[in-house]
Amino acid sequence: MPPVVATMSVSLDGIGAGHNQTEERPFGDIPEGILHRWMFEAPDENRAEMAALIDAGAFVMGRNMFGPIRGEWSGDWNGWWGPEPPYHAPVFVLTHHPRESLTMAGGTTFHFVTEGIDVALERARAAAGDREVHIAGGPTTVNAYLAAGAIDELRLQIAPVALGVGVRLFDGLPPIELEQLDVRPTSLTTHVHYRVRRTPVA
């Protein structure tokens, strides 16, 4: 079975998002773009890793990654990415509030899942077929899947900045042992690829 892979850009101290997200401030209290400079300022240097981020048969993301709307869905919010999101595959968005599926240009369809992380992953696996499923974030969603033992591999882009306060990867989890598969430093990030070991850390 193809692996379930979590992908995320984080700071040196593990922060992947800020608190107090709004439409004008997609990353909340942390400086916009601070974790993703490698994508926008050095795309040629990081082309392979950028392609790998969206090389999956299906994706799962948390509601905050899809947008800043809280509570019942309202208005016409269709995600951060404009009319043609980069995924070009089914995306399963975790939410507590039902919404009809949303089909966008380029082959991306957002499906809104109210039944929890297990159902979202089951639907993503079925949609992905023989390709990987990517848990696309944010950190709260990745942490939930790590806690459930559902992630096989972790691909991090570690920005050379310590943010101090924010939503942190691994926060509140028991010890997790990772096997390093690959590491590649570039000017604005360090790409690290891990396998998540199933045996608990002693």
CATH of the domain at 92: 3.40.430.10
In angstroms, the CA 167 to CA 46 distance is 25
15-17 and 167-168: which strand pairing? antiparallel
pLDDT, one tens digit per residue, over 9-48 is: 999 999 999 999 998 899 999 998 999 999 999 999 999 9
In a domain? residue 104:
yes
In a domain? residue 30:
no
121 three-class SS:
helix
pTM value is 0.95
In a domain? residue 21:
no
In a domain? residue 47:
no
In a domain? residue 108:
yes
pLDDT, one tens digit per residue, over 78-95 is: 999 999 999 999 999 999
- Top-confidence residue, 132 or 26: 132
In a domain? residue 86:
yes
The parent domain of residue 143 ranges over 1-8+54-69+80-149
Q: Residue 170 carries which DSSP code? A: T
pLDDT, one tens digit per residue, over 149-171 is: 999 999 999 999 999 999 999 99
In a domain? residue 18:
no
In a domain? residue 126:
yes
- Top-confidence residue, 94 or 202: 94
pLDDT over 70 percentage in the chain:
98
In angstroms, the CA 58 to CA 136 distance is 10
How many domains does the chain divide into?
1
